[in-house]
Amino acid sequence: MRQIETKAGKRWRCIRSIEATRQGQAAREAYGRQVSEMNKSEAQSRARLAKPIVV
């Protein structure tokens, strides 16, 4: 993670996201979709584990 200065102030950004930005908008969007899918999968997995088992 790196702290980046933006118009809205300082923000933390993942280094891989910063590198994808340098490769172009398509690469950055592809990286964003990939990360979103991983986060969604992880959240669904946690939700399944957190569900109480009804007997």
Question: Against a cut of 0.85, is the pTM above it?
Answer: no
What is residue 13's predicted lDDT score, i.e. its pLDDT? Answer: 87
Alpha-carbon gap, residue 7 to 5, rounded angstroms: 7
- Given a cut of 80, is residue 14 above it in pLDDT? yes
How confident is the model over 17-47, as pLDDT tens digits?
888 888 988 988 998 999 999 999 999 999 8
- Spatial neighbors of 40 by CB under 8 A, at least 6 apart, are none
**1-13 residue pLDDT tens:** 899 898 999 999 8
Q: What per-residue confidence (pLDDT) applies to 18?
A: 83
